[in-house]
């Protein structure tokens, strides 16, 4: 199995990316194809003693920057580490692609270079997130700020396939993100989505997921339009980040509070592990003809390694093939 890795995506590229790829190569026995400026990759690896021997390198001198128009990945910056990686994937020069670069560019590039599965209206960003009761998937997390209700049905199906195949959850419970549990709640868009989801026999739809309950773990797949999904994702990150920052400051205040931290060290670590989103890898872009994984922009070597493991699992568990088959069944549309 061959995983293509964008060596210049994310805040810690290329060093942490190379480290992660090197680790994944040893740990998971995958072949690695690195994309990006060949000279810089080799220099960075040599200077930091990162073993990239045996990794193929596709030379692509440019880098998609955060401030670039996402569409540049198709034209002016097709020869970037991301553009080259997506092109290589579309040409079958690897089995999956991992990038910690710009999400918007990855969505545009994935859609037009790797292309969508036949029948899929929109690809979606699917994040596996921690809850009090274990992981759940939120889909769409921001690929499509505007959606039609029928897109949400496809998101529900694709998310169900992923959670079943990759996380081993049988008959994943699907919930619709909404501002109340009752069927009549929300906007006309949400109510119409509810009606369509309810009619879809191939998913296990359990109704509205009241937003307040999401962090407590209410179902396995939560579907939303990309705007709402992104608000949920970012409020999760923002509130957790703010609270954790305050808790840390509280423990660091003085000698007595530091003693307090020691007293609850076990519990703190357990909780940290439970909430560690990095263990689930990155966010798969679902709906494309090959696995594309968006690793977090702040990915370190371990996060990138996990994203590569996730890419490998997507291939092994035949996520793309299963979604494709699903599109051919009766309620595929």
Question: Contact, 223 vs 152, CB < 8 A?
Answer: yes
Residue 212 binds a copy of itself (CB under 8 A):
yes
Residue 177 binds a copy of itself (CB under 8 A):
yes
Least spacing, CB of residue 153 vs a copy of itself, in Å: 20
Q: Binding marks (x or -) toward a copy of itself, 139..168, rule CB under 8 A?
A: ---x--xx----------------------
**Cα→Cα distances 150→78, 122, 146, Å:** 32, 10, 12
Angle at 269 (CA atoms; ends 263, 275), nearest 5 degrees: 140
Spatial distance between the Cα atoms of 228 and 177, rounded to a whole number of angstroms: 8
Backbone φ, ψ for residue 275 (5° rounding): -90, 5
Question: Contact, 197 vs 208, CB < 8 A?
Answer: no
When the beta carbons of 37 and 225 are compared against a copy of itself, the nearer one is 225
Q: Which residue has the tokens 């339009």?
A: 225
Which residues from 272-301 bind a copy of itself, rule CB under 8 A?
Answer: 274
75-83, 108-116, 254-262, 284-292 -> range binding a copy of itself (CB under 8 A): 254-262
Spatial distance between the Cα atoms of 50 and 18, rounded to a whole number of angstroms: 7
Choose which of 1, 46, 195, 262 interacts with a copy of itself (CB under 8 A): 262
When the beta carbons of 167 and 275 are compared against a copy of itself, the nearer one is 275
46-54, 112-120, 151-159, 267-275 -> range binding a copy of itself (CB under 8 A): 267-275
Least spacing, CB of residue 83 vs a copy of itself, in Å: 22
Least spacing, CB of residue 236 vs a copy of itself, in Å: 6
Residue 227 binds a copy of itself (CB under 8 A):
yes
Question: Contact, 25 vs 304, CB < 8 A?
Answer: no
Residue 239 binds a copy of itself (CB under 8 A):
yes
Which residues from 114-133 bind a copy of itself, rule CB under 8 A?
Answer: 131-132
Question: Contact, 157 vs 202, CB < 8 A?
Answer: yes
Residue 231 binds a copy of itself (CB under 8 A):
yes
Helix, strand, coil percent values for the chain (each to nearest 5): 50, 15, 35
Smallest CA-to-CA distance from 205 within 232, 231, 227, 178 is with 178
CA end-to-end span of the chain: 32
Query: Footprint of a copy of itself on this chain (CB under 8 A)?
Result: 131-132, 142, 145-146, 177, 179, 185-188, 190, 210-216, 227-228, 230-232, 234-247, 249-251, 253, 256-257, 259-264, 266-268, 270-271, 274
């Amino acid at each position: 199995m061959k995983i293509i890795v964008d060596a210049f995506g994310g805040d810690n590229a290329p060093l942490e990316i190379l480290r992660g790829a090197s680790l994944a190569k040893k740990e998971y026995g995958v072949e690695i194809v690195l994309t990006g400026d060949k000279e810089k990759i080799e220099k960075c690896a040599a200077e930091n003693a990162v073993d990239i021997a045996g990794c193929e390198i596709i030379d692509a001198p440019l880098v998609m920057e955060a401030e670039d128009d996402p569409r540049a990945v198709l034209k002016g910056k097709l020869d970037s580490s991301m553009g080259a990686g997506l092109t290589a994937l579309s040409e079958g020069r690897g089995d999956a692609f991992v990038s910690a670069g710009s999400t918007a560019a990855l969505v545009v590039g994935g859609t037009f270079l790797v292309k969508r599965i036949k029948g899929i209206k929109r690809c979606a960003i699917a994040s596996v997130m921690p809850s009090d009761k274990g992981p759940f998937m939120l889909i769409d997390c921001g690929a499509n700020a505007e959606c039609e209700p029928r897109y949400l049905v496809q998101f529900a199906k694709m998310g169900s396939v992923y959670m079943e195949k990759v996380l081993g959850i049988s008959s994943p419970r699907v919930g619709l993100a909404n501002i109340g549990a009752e069927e009549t709640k929300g906007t006309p868009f949400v109510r119409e989505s509810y009606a369509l989801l309810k009619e879809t026999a191939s998913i296990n739809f359990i109704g509205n997921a009241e937003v307040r309950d999401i962090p407590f773990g209410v179902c396995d797949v939560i579907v939303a339009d990309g705007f709402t999904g992104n608000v949920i994702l970012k409020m999760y990150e923002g509130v957790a980040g703010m609270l954790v920052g305050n808790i840390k400051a509280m423990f660091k205040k003085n000698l007595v509070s530091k003693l307090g931290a020691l007293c609850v060290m076990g519990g703190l670590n357990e909780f940290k592990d439970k909430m560690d989103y990095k263990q689930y890898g990155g966010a798969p872009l679902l709906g494309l003809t090959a696995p594309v994984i968006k690793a977090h922009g702040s990915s370190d070597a371990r996060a990138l390694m996990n994203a590569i493991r996730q890419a490998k699992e997507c291939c092994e568990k035949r996520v793309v093939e299963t979604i494709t088959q699903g599109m051919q069944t009766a309620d595929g549309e």
